[in-house]
């Protein structure tokens, strides 16, 4: 039986990567959306879906308000949150608000696909390693030498955000973000921002 899943994320690369991995599984059919309004329109037109995945920081979400709207629109069927930047506290609040699960974008592909299966079947899912960690998992060997701001910028790179988008999200000047990216590349021995994000993902940084 094919699972119909809606993935709403404003970053094309992230959204399409998740879709590719899920569709390759053969048991899912995914539909993309780039923001909350588009997701709600699709749910109204083609839903309810077996599972709706919402990016926590995409346009229209306004924190967990978007989760509540999608839950009503999807008629009680599962709605989960996916994010590359949200803390454990946000994950806990989402689950308390009725989300079927919380997926960090740093999850390995196999774990991601399995988690989607669980949630579509009505099982609550949140990675134990993430939920039992610190709100800011900053003391791993990998990122011990990074400042709080550098970690925030690095999470932005892992979401494929531009310098301008990161600056807006963190309320910084774009030139400041550019300097942080340069420093991150040096500290992580990365040739560019994409490689820095890949290194961080490989090391399990969230």
- Exposure b/e, 149-159, CB count within 10 A at least 16 = b: ebbbbbbbbbb
pTM above 0.85, yes or no: no
Residue 53 is predicted with a pLDDT of 95
Q: How far apart are CA 68 and CA 98, in angstroms?
A: 8
User: By the 8 A CB rule, do 87 and 81 touch?
Assistant: no
Residue 144 is predicted with a pLDDT of 67
Task: Report helix angle 36-46 to 65-73, nearest 10.
Answer: 10
Quick one: how many helices (H) and strands (E) in the chain? 10, 5
Q: What is the CA radius of gyration of the chain?
A: 17
Domains and CATH numbers, the chain: 3-131 (3.40.50.2300), 148-202 (1.10.10.10)
Report the 10 Å Cβ neighbour count for 176: 15
Residue 143 is predicted with a pLDDT of 66
Q: How far apart are CA 115 and CA 127, in angstroms?
A: 9
**For each successive 10 residues of the chain (206 residues), what is the average pLDDT?**
88 81 81 94 94 91 91 95 81 90 82 84 80 52 74 88 89 90 90 89 72
Residue 139 is predicted with a pLDDT of 46
Residue 32 is predicted with a pLDDT of 93
Q: How far apart are CA 3 and CA 120, in angstroms?
A: 7
User: By the 8 A CB rule, do 182 and 172 touch?
Assistant: no
Residue 45 is predicted with a pLDDT of 95
Q: How far apart are CA 115 and CA 18, in angstroms?
A: 12
Residue 142 is predicted with a pLDDT of 67
């Amino acid at each position: 039986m094919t699972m119909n899943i809606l993935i709403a994320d404003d970053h094309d690369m992230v959204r399409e990567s998740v879709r590719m991995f899920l569709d390759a599984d053969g048991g899912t059919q995914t539909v993309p959306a780039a923001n909350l309004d588009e997701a709600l329109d699709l749910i109204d037109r083609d839903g309810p879906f077996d599972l709706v995945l919402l990016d926590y920081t995409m346009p229209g979400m306004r924190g967990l308000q978007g989760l509540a709207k999608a839950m009503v629109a999807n008629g009680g069927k599962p709605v989960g949150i996916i994010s590359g930047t949200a803390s454990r506290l946000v994950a806990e609040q989402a689950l308390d608000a009725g989300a079927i699960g919380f997926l960090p974008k740093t999850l390995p592909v196999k774990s991601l696909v399995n988690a989607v299966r669980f949630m579509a079947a009505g099982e609550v899912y949140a990675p134990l390693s993430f939920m039992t960690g610190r709100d800011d998992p900053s003391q791993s060997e990998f990122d011990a030498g990074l400042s709080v701001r550098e970690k925030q910028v690095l999470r932005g790179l892992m979401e494929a955000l531009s310098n301008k988008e990161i600056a807006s999200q963190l309320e910084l000047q774009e030139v400041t973000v550019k300097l942080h990216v340069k420093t991150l590349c040096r500290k992580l021995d990365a040739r560019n921002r994409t490689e820095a994000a890949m290194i961080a993902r490989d090391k399990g940084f969230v």
